[in-house]
C-alpha cells in the first residue's frame, strides 16, 4: 500500500537488526559470551545504561504542569537561554544567535535540510557518516553526496570537500553541508582548528554571488570528547562569516544529559545579520509546527532548572566528567591494543565510536558474530561502539578483529 516517493526503505534498520541478533545470542548463551559493540548509548562497565542521577532527581521533582502542558513551538524562553549556555559553554558569541527547540539533534538536522535546501537538491557530508543524514534527506525529497573525510595521509581531506562544494554549487542555488565534530560518529575524529580554518576558507571561496551555504555543525558528542572549553575553541571562528554562509549548531540533550528518550535538543544559528536570525526563527518554527508541533516540555524544564542553579549545574557536570573519563579510557585502551595487534583504525580522537577500514565489512562482521562479537558494517569499514563495552572488552577486541579480517 505504501508509496516509495524516491526513498529506499530497508526491511529492518541495520543497527537495530544486528543488536537484535546480539540479544538473541545473549538469551541463548548468556551475557558473558557476547560483546555488543553496536549500541549508540553510553553503558557502564556492567552493561547498564548510564543515567545521570543528578538529572533524574530534577525530573522526578517536576510539577504536573511542567510535563502536562504544551511548550511554545520554539521552546520556552528559559529553555532557549539554557540550551545556548549548554551548547556554547564559556564562549559568548558576538553575533546574533537564535535557538529553536527540536526533538534531539535529529529534529535539528531535519529542519535544517527542509529550510536551507530545495526539493531535489543534494546535501553534502563526509563519506564516513551517520546513516540517518541520508535517510532524513531522502525522506524530505533530497539526495545526499559525500566528500572523502581523509586523504592518504589520514588528514582531513580539504581538497575533496572543495571539489564537492564547487560541483554542487554549480548545479544548486544553495547547499547544506553537515559536519559532525568533535568525536564524530562513526570514526571518533575531531576537526582540528587548522581543519576548521581550511573548511571556512573553502566555503567563503565557493559561496560566490547569490549562492548560499548552511553549515550544520552536529555537536551531538561534544560533551563526551574531552575538555569542554578546548573542544569548543572552534566556535568563535563561526561568528562573523559572510551573510550567505549560515552556521547552525545542532545540540542535543540525548548524550550530554542522558535524556536520549526525552527527545530534546535545539538548532542554534550564528549570524552577523539580524534579519537572517529572525528568518531562521520563523522558518524553523514553521517546520516544527508542521512536523512534531512542539517538543517535550519536561526536558525543557529540567534543563532550565539545572542552569538556574549553579550548584546543581556543577553536580551534573561533575557526574558527567566521571563517565567521560571512563569513555576516554576505553578509547585509549582500544587504540593501544589496536597498535599492538597491527590493526589499522580510521583516525580517532574521542567519543562513542571507532571505525576500522576494511573491504567487505558485512563478511567481517559475520566472522565476528561467530565469536559472539557484534559491530556495525558500514560502506567503508566497521563501526565499534566503545561506549557500550567495558575497558577489558576494548582491550580484547582489536586482536579479534584482526583475526576476523582474515
Binding of ligand PLP by 390 (CB under 6 A) = no
* Burial of 64 (C-beta count, 10 Å sphere; 0-12/13-18/19+): exposed
Binding of ligand PLP by 83 (CB under 6 A) = no
Q: 258 phi and psi, to 5 degrees?
A: 45, 45
243 grid coordinates: 551573510
Binding of ligand PLP by 180 (CB under 6 A) = yes
Binding of ligand PLP by 254 (CB under 6 A) = yes
Cα–Cα distances (Å) from 153 to 40, 157, 316, 346, 393, in that order, read 29, 9, 39, 11, 29
CB of 42 to ligand PLP, least distance (A): 11
Reply yes or no: is the peptide bond before residue 108 cis, omega within 30 of 0: no
* Residue from 36, 54, 76, 106 binding ligand PLP (CB under 6 A): 106
Binding of ligand PLP by 218 (CB under 6 A) = yes
Binding of ligand PLP by 292 (CB under 6 A) = no
**254 or 390: CB nearest ligand PLP:** 254
Binding of ligand PLP by 252 (CB under 6 A) = yes
DSSP 389: S
**CB-closest chain residue to ligand PLP:** 104
CB of 209 to ligand PLP, least distance (A): 32
CB of 126 to ligand PLP, least distance (A): 11
Q: Please give the size of the binding site for ligand PLP, defined by CB under 6 A.
A: 13
Reply yes or no: is the peptide bond before residue 182 cis, omega within 30 of 0: yes
In whole angstroms, what is the distance from residue 122 CA to residue 140 CA? Answer: 11
* Residue from 226, 265, 377, 381 binding ligand PLP (CB under 6 A): 265
**Side-chain-facing half-sphere of 315: CA atoms under 13 Å:** 15
List binders of ligand PLP among 14-43 (CB under 6 A): 40
In whole angstroms, what is the distance from residue 209 CA to residue 41 CA? Answer: 43
* Residue from 260, 286, 292, 323 binding ligand PLP (CB under 6 A): 260
* Residue from 93, 105, 188, 398 binding ligand PLP (CB under 6 A): 105
In whole angstroms, what is the distance from residue 117 CA to residue 263 CA? Answer: 24
Binding of ligand PLP by 385 (CB under 6 A) = no
The residue among 392, 181, 192, 228 whose CA lies nearest residue 324 is 228
Cα–Cα distances (Å) from 149 to 181, 213, 319, in that order, read 12, 19, 33
Contacting range for ligand PLP; rule: CB under 6 A; set: 103-111, 155-163, 222-230, 311-319: 103-111
Binding of ligand PLP by 349 (CB under 6 A) = no
**244 or 381: CB nearest ligand PLP:** 381
Binding of ligand PLP by 67 (CB under 6 A) = no
CB of 250 to ligand PLP, least distance (A): 7
Residues in the chain: 406
CB of 185 to ligand PLP, least distance (A): 4
Cα distance between the two ends of the chain: 44
Binding of ligand PLP by 100 (CB under 6 A) = no
CB of 15 to ligand PLP, least distance (A): 9
The residue among 289, 301, 285 whose CA lies nearest residue 79 is 301
Binding of ligand PLP by 223 (CB under 6 A) = no
In the shown chain, the binding pattern of residues 129 to 148 toward ligand PLP, with x for contact by CB under 6 A and - for none, equals: -x------------------
**Side-chain-facing half-sphere of 240: CA atoms under 13 Å:** 2
Binding of ligand PLP by 75 (CB under 6 A) = no
In whole angstroms, what is the distance from residue 128 CA to residue 148 CA? Answer: 8
In whole angstroms, what is the distance from residue 266 CA to residue 106 CA? Answer: 9
Binding of ligand PLP by 104 (CB under 6 A) = yes
Q: 3 phi and psi, to 5 degrees?
A: -95, 140
Binding of ligand PLP by 346 (CB under 6 A) = no
Binding of ligand PLP by 220 (CB under 6 A) = yes
CB of 244 to ligand PLP, least distance (A): 25
Report the interface residues with ligand PLP, using CB under 6 A.
40, 104-106, 130, 180, 185, 218, 220, 252, 254, 260, 265
Amino acid at each position: 500500500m505504501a508509496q516509495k516517493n524516491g526513498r529506499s526503505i530497508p526491511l529492518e534498520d541495520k543497527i537495530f537488526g544486528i543488536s537484535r541478533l546480539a540479544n538473541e545470542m545473549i538469551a541463548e548463551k548468556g551475557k558473558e559470551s557476547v560483546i555488543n559493540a553496536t549500541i549508540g548509548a553510553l553503558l557502564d562497565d556492567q552493561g547498564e545504561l548510564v543515567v545521570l542521577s543528578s538529572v533524574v532527581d530534577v525530573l522526578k521533582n517536576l510539577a504536573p504542569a511542567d510535563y502536562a502542558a504544551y511548550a511554545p513551538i520554539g521552546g520556552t524562553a528559559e529553555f532557549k537561554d539554557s540550551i545556548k549556555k549548554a551548547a556554547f559553554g564559556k564562549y559568548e558569541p558576538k553575533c546574533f544567535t537564535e535557538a529553536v527547540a527540536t526533538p534531539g539533534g535529529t529534529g535539528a538536522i531535519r529542519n535544517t535540510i527542509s529550510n536551507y535546501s530545495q526539493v531535489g537538491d543534494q546535501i553534502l557530508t563526509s563519506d564516513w557518516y551517520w546513516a540517518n543524514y541520508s535517510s532524513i534527506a531522502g525522506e524530505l525529497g533530497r539526495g545526499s553526496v559525500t566528500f572523502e573525510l581523509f586523504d592518504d595521509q589520514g588528514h582531513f581531506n580539504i581538497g575533496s570537500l572543495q571539489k564537492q562544494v564547487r560541483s554542487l554549487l554549480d548545479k544548486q542555488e544553495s547547499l547544506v553541508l553537515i559536519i559532525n565534530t568533535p568525536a564524530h560518529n562513526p570514526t571518533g575524529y575531531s576537526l582540528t582548528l587548522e581543519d576548521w580554518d581550511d573548511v571556512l576558507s573553502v566555503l567563503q571561496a565557493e559561496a560566490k554571488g547569490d549562492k548560499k551555504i548552511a553549515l550544520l555543525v552536529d555537536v551531538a558528542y561534544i560533551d563526551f570528547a574531552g575538555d569542554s572549553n578546548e573542544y569548543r575553541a572552534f566556535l568563535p571562528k563561526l561568528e562573523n562569516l559572510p551573510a550567505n554562509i549560515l552556521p547552525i549548531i545542532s545540540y542535543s540533550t540525548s548524550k550530554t544529559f542522558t535524556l536520549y528518550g526525552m527527545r530534546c535538543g535545539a538548532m542554534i544559528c550564528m549570524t552577523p545579520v539580524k534579519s537572517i536570525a529572525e528568518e531562521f526563527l520563523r522558518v524553523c518554527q514553521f517546520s516544527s509546527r508542521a512536523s512534531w508541533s512542539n517538543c517535550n516540555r519536561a526536558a525543557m524544564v529540567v534543563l532550565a532548572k539545572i542552569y538556574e542553579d549553579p550548584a546543581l549545574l556543577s553536580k551534573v557536570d561533575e557526574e558527567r566528567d566521571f563517565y567521560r573519563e571512563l569513555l576516554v579510557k576505553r578509547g585509549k585502551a582500544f587504540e593501544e591494543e589496536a597498535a599492538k595487534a597491527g590493526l589499522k583504525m580510521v583516525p580517532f580522537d574521542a567519543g562513542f565510536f571507532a571505525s576500522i577500514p576494511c573491504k567487505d565489512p558485512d563478511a567481517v562482521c559475520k566472522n565476528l558474530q561467530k565469536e559472539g562479537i557484534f559491530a556495525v558494517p558500514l560502506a567503508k569499514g566497521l563501526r565499534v561502539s566503545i561506549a557500550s563495552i567495558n575497558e577489558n572488552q576494548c582491550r580484547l577486541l582489536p586482536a579479534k578483529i584482526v583475526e576476523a579480517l582474515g
